[in-house]
Amino acid sequence: MDERLPLIGDRFPETTVLTTHGKKTLPGDYKGKWFVLFSHPGDFTPVCTTEFYSFALKNDEFEKLNCKLIGLSVDQVFSHIKWAEWINENLKVKIPFPIIADEMGLLALKLGMLHPSKGTNTVRAVFVIDPEGNIRTMLYYPQELGRNMDEILRIVKALQVGAENKGAMPANWPNNELLGDKIIVSPATDEKTAEINREKYDCYDWWFCYKDMK
């Protein structure tokens, strides 16, 4: 039996989970949609509360990208429900996305969210999954560092634009210091294609060509 952790490009492991929105099957219930699964160390903790508040504020922007948000920790579903109520009552923001109650830590173990040095708490992990159920991005953060939701949103946008334009995305896209919001053309692997790319695109060299977005 293959016990290794999934890698970028692998299919997200099929699993049924209990959430604050009822039982869900991943990735099956999200077929045809992108989704971002993110774990947090624990409910009713300060950094996690700021993260859920921020994710809730960004939810509509993810929705516009046909992307769903899903939270996860090893807390019980009752704790998730009460914490979401506390955020709504005290911070005036409703948590619109489901939160997985991974009480036995089964999904967390499959995804490398449980680290021995952190006890039973899940680390801050982020998985970006495409509409076919494939893992496209994996991020891990230490417990003491809250995530940047604008960066996670940028990742989803960049992956979608890159796929649509059949190219790669430069650093800091869409505000790259060299290329702005342009797309990098995949480097040629033969002389003929290299010559075609030089004629067809703007290039710094045969291996560094770029084009406008569609």
Spatial separation of the C-alpha atoms in residues 179 and 170, rounded to whole Å = 8
**Phi, psi of 192, rounded to the nearest 5 degrees:** -65, -45
CA angle centred on 140, ends 95 and 26, rounded to 5°: 55
* Half-sphere CA count of 110, side-chain side, radius 13 A: 15
Among 48, 67, 203, 209, which one carries the catalytic annotation?
48
209 among known catalytic residues: no
Q: Which residue has the tokens 């490009």?
A: 9
DSSP designation for 117: G
Enzyme catalytic residues:
48
